[in-house]
Amino acid sequence: MRKIDTRNFSRATRTTPKEINRQIVLNLVREQQPISRADLARRMGVARGMVTPLVNELLEEGLIYEGSTGNPPRGRKPALLHVRAHDRLALAVDVRFSQTHVMLCDFSGRMIALERFATPLVPDALVAEIALRIRRMLGDHRGAGECRGIGLVVPGMVDRRTGRLVHAPTLGWRDVDLGGALAAELEMEVHTERDAIACALAQMWLGPKQGSAQDSFVYLTVSDGVGAGVVVNGAVVRGHRDAAGEFGHIPLALDGPLCSCGAHGCLEAYTSTTATVARYLGRELVSRQSYADVRETGLTVDDIVSRARSGDAAALAAVEASGRYLAVGIVAIVNALNPARIIVGGELVAAWDLISPLVHEVMEQRALTAGAAATPVIPELADEQTRLRGAAALVVAPVYAAPAIG
């Protein structure tokens, strides 16, 4: 899904395919709302007569509505156009190793209801639990609007053609059709996406600034797993077989701790929640069992961060070590892709004030140009919301995206 470039007006001409002009109008209303028809025509650089039928079509389809009137100094008050979001609903599901969250929201990402539960470790049981929660939610909020689909965010690689979950290292699942099973169970459309890409989509489509159509950035999630959603020129980079962006598995050492992927020394094996907890406890990650043992302790990164703040030297050392490894991973991304900015989400971000100086230090040492060293690295604290907004964006974005052409 590519963003429509509403600033590239040369595309809005009489010979531009109608489908594209319609999407330009829809996106201009979305970005500039409330907006008048005259203002739309002016921004598109076309006569008002060309805009009117497109607006009428969008009104008929219920994608936009006429709301409050403008207040010009003189003359007739024009009706202003808004995107219709409040009664068009999406279901957002975020599956993580530890917990699964289910949210009902509207097309602007506004939350209506939220439920969370411990993720069952068997796919069938997870599908049944999600279906149960969704049925109850839709029942409780009947009349809030029409639900247009389910966005399912998973901690692993997804085959874009089939929607199947190819491999979720933290869950130990391979080739599971979660989306298909959920769609069959609820008779609704399900869009499945890898977590880090969903977070990038949330920035693109439901973020505070919504970025420009030519935006290039990386969303790095540092949680039970570590991964990146890469956006170049307003489009997600997926790679030849949909497996691009797995920066969590770049090797920092040829040996080193065992990673969830089965290799040793990956960025994830040094910076994941389990890696930070294991470091604090003085344990080594050498087997699947050692991962299970660390989780068994119930200790979280949040616990370790608050211990670090209250003077526990071992906790501070563990957090700083994770931060330093993370910084090396960040600078590798900067050198490889030179994005406009890197956004970091995940539990470790709670300690950003402790980590940030290390990140800057490593950037200064290892970035290859002064410009690259100055790449903004932005912590995002409300990471849980981003993943859910990303799930919602899977349902919302196709409505606003550029039509697939060529």
CB atoms within 10 A of CB 156: 21
CB of 261 to Zn ion, least distance (A): 3
Comparison of 246 and 380: residue with beta carbon closer to Zn ion:
246
Name the segment binding Zn ion (CB under 5 A); options: 9-17, 206-214, 215-223, 260-268.
Answer: 260-268
CB of 167 to Zn ion, least distance (A): 11
Comparison of 101 and 167: residue with beta carbon closer to Zn ion:
167
243 binds Zn ion (CB under 5 A): no
Q: Any bridge partners for residue 152, and if so which?
A: 93, 192
| Residue of 261, 299, 354, 399 interacting with Zn ion (CB under 5 A) | 261
Name the one residue in this structure whose structure tokens are 């459309």: 189
Name the segment binding Zn ion (CB under 5 A); options: 88-96, 259-267, 327-335, 341-349.
Answer: 259-267
249 binds Zn ion (CB under 5 A): yes
Which helix (H) or strand (E) segment is 21 a member of? helix 18-32
Comparison of 257 and 345: residue with beta carbon closer to Zn ion:
257
CB of 43 to Zn ion, least distance (A): 47
CB of 201 to Zn ion, least distance (A): 24
CB of 325 to Zn ion, least distance (A): 13
Quick one: tokens of 329? 């991973």
Sequence-ordered alpha helix ranges (H) in 158-272: 178-186, 195-206, 267-271
Quick one: tokens of 44? 């598109």
259 binds Zn ion (CB under 5 A): yes
Comparison of 249 and 307: residue with beta carbon closer to Zn ion:
249
332 binds Zn ion (CB under 5 A): no
Name the segment binding Zn ion (CB under 5 A); options: 95-103, 212-220, 266-274, 366-374.
Answer: 266-274
Sites for Zn ion among residues 179-208 (CB under 5 A): none
What secondary structure letter does DSSP report for 319? H
Name the segment binding Zn ion (CB under 5 A); options: 212-220, 243-251, 326-334, 398-406.
Answer: 243-251
Cβ atoms of 127 and 69 closer than 8 Å: no
Comparison of 83 and 259: residue with beta carbon closer to Zn ion:
259
Comparison of 54 and 197: residue with beta carbon closer to Zn ion:
197
Name the segment binding Zn ion (CB under 5 A); options: 79-87, 115-123, 129-137, 262-270.
Answer: 262-270
CB atoms within 10 A of CB 376: 10
CB of 199 to Zn ion, least distance (A): 19
Which helix (H) or strand (E) segment is 24 a member of? helix 18-32
CB of 97 to Zn ion, least distance (A): 15
CB of 120 to Zn ion, least distance (A): 24
Comparison of 150 and 333: residue with beta carbon closer to Zn ion:
333
Comparison of 217 and 247: residue with beta carbon closer to Zn ion:
247
Comparison of 128 and 261: residue with beta carbon closer to Zn ion:
261
| Residue of 24, 41, 201, 266 interacting with Zn ion (CB under 5 A) | 266
Dihedral sign from CA coordinates of 219, 222, 223, 225: positive
Name the segment binding Zn ion (CB under 5 A); options: 46-54, 109-117, 249-257, 352-360.
Answer: 249-257
Q: Any bridge partners for residue 168, and if so which?
A: 173
# chain residues binding Zn ion, by CB under 5 A: 5
CB of 271 to Zn ion, least distance (A): 11
- Cα angle 209, 18, 232 (rounded to 5 degrees) comes to 35
Q: In angstroms, rounded to a whole number, what is the distance separating the alpha carbons of residues 90 and 394?
A: 9
User: What would the DSSP string read from start to end of 38-93?
Assistant: HHHHHHHTS-HHHHHHHHHHHHHTTSEEEEEE---SSSPPPEEEEE--TTEEEEEE
CB of 399 to Zn ion, least distance (A): 36
CA-nearest of 399, 398, 385, 380 to 92 is 385
User: What would the DSSP string read from start to end of 108-167?
Assistant: T--EEEEEEEEPPSSHHHHHHHHHHHHHHHHHHTTTS-EEEEEEEEESSEE-TTT--EEE
Cβ atoms of 362 and 377 closer than 8 Å: no
In one-letter notation, the amino acid at residue 71 is N
Report phi then psi at 339, rounded to 5.
Answer: -75, 165
Tell me which residues touch Zn ion (CB under 5 A). Answer: 249, 259, 261, 263, 266
